[in-house]
Chain A
């Protein structure tokens, strides 16, 4: 009976006017758009969080490598001290630079302190050149090899960090993502070396 009733001409009389149907359609379109917008906002905000976590994660990775280098420095200083007691100035500079590097917390400060430590360690290498016995020492050779390996790891970790920062900054700065990022997601700074030795362009002479 219900089926007959549904198909009966009387049903047509119960149909809502076209204006009401148009309002209904508009409501569904607006509601659907709002739901899609909400989904997009949530997904975008989550992607910001993921990208920011990657930046923090890569900073921790670099921190591990830097700490390893800090731990190696006292051994290196001790090894040099045994052979080159007169190079107190260089060794003090390394020890001070290490202290500053350990104390640094902000990325900019860490970059400055690490660049200073790198320069100071370069001084130790220069000292070693003047002492053949030190250079020939197996302990010093091992420590220097470890230091070189650690410096390679630090370079690689720095590249990973900077790549992550670039990806994160791009993500939060492009439009319309920047509307969602607002003030909650601030751009991060790159970890750049300030060491003049790293920036120096080698002079090539063809004469």
Chain B
């Protein structure tokens, strides 16, 4: 995407808008110099206008390159690029912070031609507004790449399962514990490797037998060895698979999409087992 960004930037620099902008900047600089009787002031105004135009064009080139990339990428995984959109704020991650935003949204069936639930694959961010003691506020963004979908039948089975990478740093303004408002207990699994990489929490009313069905040995090994270390949350029928950061590489995005498919398959299988336990009179606690 970086090469495409430079190509767009170069093309935009040759456009009329930039030429007119630079001419306007020069005129403004001359006018300012004449008004202030200061040649350095004129140069400074001219330089500032040029810099502002370049920054604006760079930002636009970035958006163009992103749009171009996602327009061509979305069909390769069987999705449609719908640019903007939103995801329901059901899971803790999707309702974290003070404001939430989705960009570069792609939508479509999770399993392509085979159908399956419709998923929303997007670059997601939530913003936390922090106030310092002097009445000033600071908006801190937290970026993720997500794939969200509704899993049929998961509503009564999964009351709250939250898996994320084990945070290395838990202090400072860069860290926001979006699970702190959730009444969830940490769950220990048998794998040391998994424990080092992940933090698993489950709501108190989550059936531990169903949780055990989901986190089978093969799933634990799969998660522990996955190069992206994807996290996921499953609550009220909604499943969201995520990695930190706005991912812009086709290979990594494809890997995340494949991971979402695998996690969904596992969740759906556990949902089947959950309904079986439920029908057999097992208490869902």
Contacts and interface: CB of A to CB of B under 8 A. Distances in A.
A136 to B, nearest CB: 25
A54 interface: yes
Interface residues of B, number: 13
B190 A152 contact: no
Interface string A84-97: 00000000000000
Most chain B C-beta atoms within 10 Å of own C-beta, residue among A58, A156, A163:
A156
A62 B218 CA distance: 11
A60 B195 CA distance: 17
Nearest to A154: B217
A156 B192 contact: no
Interface string A124-148: 0000000000000000000000000
Nearest to A171: B192
A83 to B, nearest CB: 28
Contacts of A167: 192-193
Most chain A C-beta atoms within 10 Å of own C-beta, residue among B188, B191, B193, B194:
B191
A191 to B, nearest CB: 12
Contact of A163 (B188, B191, B216, B218): B191
Interface in A143-167: 152-157, 159-160, 163-164, 167
Give the secondary structure class of B's interface.
helix
Interface residues on A, range: 10 to 19
A65 interface: yes
A61 interface: yes
Interface string B197-226: 000000000000000000011101110000
B221 A159 contact: yes
Interface string B220-256: 1110000000000000000000000000000000000
A21 interface: no
Contacts of A153: 216-218
A51 B218 CA distance: 21
Contacts of B220: 156, 160
Interface in B105-152: none
Contact of A152 (B192, B193, B195, B218): B218
Interface of B: 188, 190-195, 216-218, 220-222
14 contacts: A54-B190, A54-B192, A57-B188, A57-B190, A60-B190, A61-B217, A62-B217, A152-B218, A153-B217, A156-B221, A159-B217, A160-B194, A160-B220, A160-B221
